[in-house]
Amino acid sequence: MTGAAVLRALRTLSGRFPAPVESVLPPASCVLFPAWRTSAVRTLQLSPALCAGHNKWSKVKHIKGPKDEARGKMFMKFGMMIKIAVKEGGPNPDHNINLAHILEQCRSKNMPKASIETAIKSAEKAKPASQHMFEARGPGGCLMLIEVLTDNNSRCHQEIKRLLTKNGGMLSDGARHNFSRRGVVVVPGRNVTTERALELAIEAGAEDVQETEDEEEQPLLQFICDMSDLKKVRGSLEELGMQITSAGLEFIPRTFSSLDQDQLDATSTLIEALNDYPDVVRVWDNIQAHS
């Protein structure tokens, strides 16, 4: 029997039977459990409503990846992140955990050592710059936080507003309330089952664990915790034999927006335009990932 004949036979048979039980269960890639504060017994649940999942959005919003011109932009953004971290906690990574994690990310992306040292020194000597967080609403009603570092507040405000308006967005007070700043430790997710991910989260003292992908479609696990627990959770995961991809502070959405493909494309264009503006450090969003 030819391959085409086999396929036709399988299609015929599949129409005669009901869908398997697994098809009505929540996807195994969706992993999320609440933070426990009082109970010694933790009940783990899968929550499809807030799952990250293996998704297209994580790749869509990082369209170009760290290559050529985009690589230079990435290093520039890291330099801005270093300036903000130094401004908040000083230039010594031994006493500034956020700076330590950013420097680790720089090294993992092969940012030259000389560039890292220059960024730290320039952060100490740099002329005063203001750090701001713009609240915005994008295509389909998704929410965004736009983190900027600028020496010209008026110019920056007008340019952010122009980019939003041009690409289907607008400034929107109140978006900040939909995000909470949390510690996030990222580890490779290959060959780690859902059950093992939950076990690791409990043992490490994390509140949530989400499964997602990087730009190369490699699975990742994000362990989410209180900011003050970031160092402890990271250390626990390392003791449990996990390789740390990155660790740092991020803005995690409380609720999510689900967009259709046209809205995703429009939002991707908007985020790319914002990231191309030199004063923008990072853009955070609450877009529901699609499997």
Whether the per-residue pLDDT at 18 is higher than 70: the answer is no
- 98 in any annotated domain: yes
User: What burial class does residue 16 get, using C-beta atoms within 10 Å of its C-beta: 0-12 exposed, 13-18 middle, 19+ buried?
Assistant: exposed
> Are 160 and 210 contained in the same domain?
yes
Predicted local confidence at residue 68, as pLDDT: 56
User: What's the mean pLDDT in 185-213?
Assistant: 91
Boundary of a domain, candidates 125, 142, 169: 125
Domain that holds residue 81: 68-125
Instruction: From 93, 110, 125, give the residue that closes a domain.
Output: 125
How many separate domains does the chain show?
2
Judge if 102 and 134 occupy the same domain: no
> Would residue 189 count as lying in a domain?
yes
- The verdict on 91 and 231 lying in the same domain is no
pLDDT digits (tens, 9 = 90+) for 258-280: 999 999 999 999 999 999 898 89
Query: What share of the chain has pLDDT > 70, as a percent?
Result: 73
Residue 115 phi/psi, 5° resolution? -65, -40
Give yes or no: residues 98 and 205 share one domain: no
5 falls within a domain: no
> What's the pLDDT score for residue 89?
83
Please tell me the distance from the alpha carbon of residue 119 to that of residue 34, in angstroms, as a whole number.
38
Q: Which residues pair with 180 in a beta bridge?
A: 252
Q: Is 269 exposed, middle or buried (0-12, 13-18, 19+ CB in 10 A)?
A: middle
Mean pLDDT score of the chain: 78
Q: Does residue 195 sit in the same domain as residue 93?
A: no
- Domain's final residue, options 82, 103, 125: 125
Q: What is the DSSP string of the chain?
A: --HHHHHHHHHHHHTTSPPPGGGGSPPTT-------SS-SS------GGG---S-SHHHHTT-S-SSHHHHHHHHHHHHHHHHHHHHHH-S-TTT-HHHHHHHHHHHHTT--HHHHHHHHHHHHHSPP-EEEEEEEE-GGG-EEEEEEEES-HHHHHHHHHHHHHHTT-EE-TTGGGGEEEEEEEEEE-TT--HHHHHHHHHHHT-SEEEEEE-TT--EEEEEEE-GGGHHHHHHHHHHTTPPP-EEEEEEEESS-B---HHHHHHHHHHHHHHHHSTTEEEEEE-BPP--
Amino acid 77: pLDDT:
82
Query: Do 135 and 102 belong together in one domain?
Result: no
Same domain, 161 and 112: no
Q: Is residue 256 part of a domain?
A: yes
The verdict on 172 and 86 lying in the same domain is no
- pTM here? 0.65
Residue 252 identity: I
CATH of the domain at 119: 1.10.10.200
Are 155 and 197 within one domain? yes
Residue 75 phi/psi, 5° resolution?
Answer: -65, -35
pLDDT reported for residue 49: 33
Pair (99, 164) in one structural domain: no
- The answer to whether 139 touches 169, Cβ cutoff 8 Å, is yes
The answer to whether residue 2 is domain-embedded is no
Give per-residue pLDDT as tens, 142-187.
Answer: 999 999 988 889 999 999 999 999 999 999 999 999 999 999 999 9
CB-based burial, 42-65: b 16+ in 10 Å, e otherwise: eebebeeebbbbbbebbbbbbeee
Q: What is the CATH number for 200?
A: 3.30.70.980
**Dist. CA 42–CA 93, nearest whole Å:** 35
User: Rounded distance, CA 146 to CA 167, Å?
Assistant: 15
Q: What was the pLDDT predicted at 57?
A: 53
Verify that 84 and 58 share a domain, yes or no: no
Please choose, from the candidates 150, 146, 145, the residue with its C-alpha nearest in 3D space to the C-alpha of residue 131: 150
Give the pLDDT confidence of 225-262 residue by residue, as tens digits: 999 999 999 999 999 999 998 888 899 999 999 999 99
The residue to which tokens 């289907």 are assigned: 168
Residue 34 confidence (pLDDT):
38
Residue 104 and residue 186 in one domain: no
Q: What confidence score (pLDDT) does residue 214 get? A: 75
* 1 found inside a domain: no
Residue 74 lies in a domain: yes
What's the rounded Cα separation, in Å, for the pair 128 and 228?
A: 28
Query: Does a structural domain hold residue 202?
Result: yes
